[in-house]
C-alpha cells in the first residue's frame, strides 16, 4: 500500500471517527490523534499554535466557544418550545 493509500485509510477511519466524536461533545479521540512529539503546529483561521501546550490551550478555548454556542442553541430552543 502506498503512503497516499495509507493516509487515506487513516483519514477515512480514525480521523473521521475522531471528528464525529468531537462534534458530539467528546474531544478525547481528536486529542488522541495529535502527535506526542514536538514540533507540533497548527495554522488556523482563529488562532495558531506552535507547540503542544499552545495547541492544547487553543483547542480548549475553541471547545469552550463551541460549548457556549451549543448551550445557547439549547436554551433558545427551550425558550421557543416553552408556552
Largest pairwise CA distance in the chain: 60
In this predicted model, what pLDDT tens digit does every residue of 11-55 receive, in sequence order?
888 888 888 887 787 878 888 887 778 887 777 766 788 888 888
- Residue 81, pLDDT above cutoff 50: no
* Predicted pLDDT at 3: 93
* Predicted pLDDT at 74: 46
Closest of 46, 15, 45, 43 to residue 31, by C-alpha: 15
Domain chopping of the chain, boundaries:
3-81
Q: State the cell numbers at 1.
A: 500500500
Residue 18 CA to its chain's centroid (Å): 8
DSSP secondary structure code for residue 47 in this structure: -
* Predicted pLDDT at 80: 46
Amino acid at each position: 500500500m502506498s503512503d497516499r493509500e495509507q493516509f487515506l485509510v487513516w483519514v477515512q477511519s480514525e480521523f473521521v471517527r475522531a471528528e464525529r466524536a468531537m462534534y458530539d461533545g467528546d474531544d478525547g479521540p481528536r486529542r488522541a490523534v495529535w502527535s506526542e512529539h514536538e514540533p507540533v503546529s497548527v495554522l488556523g483561521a482563529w488562532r495558531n499554535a506552535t507547540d503542544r501546550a499552545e495547541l492544547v490551550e487553543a483547542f480548549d478555548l475553541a471547545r469552550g466557544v463551541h460549548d457556549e454556542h451549543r448551550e445557547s442553541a439549547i436554551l433558545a430552543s427551550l425558550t421557543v418550545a416553552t408556552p
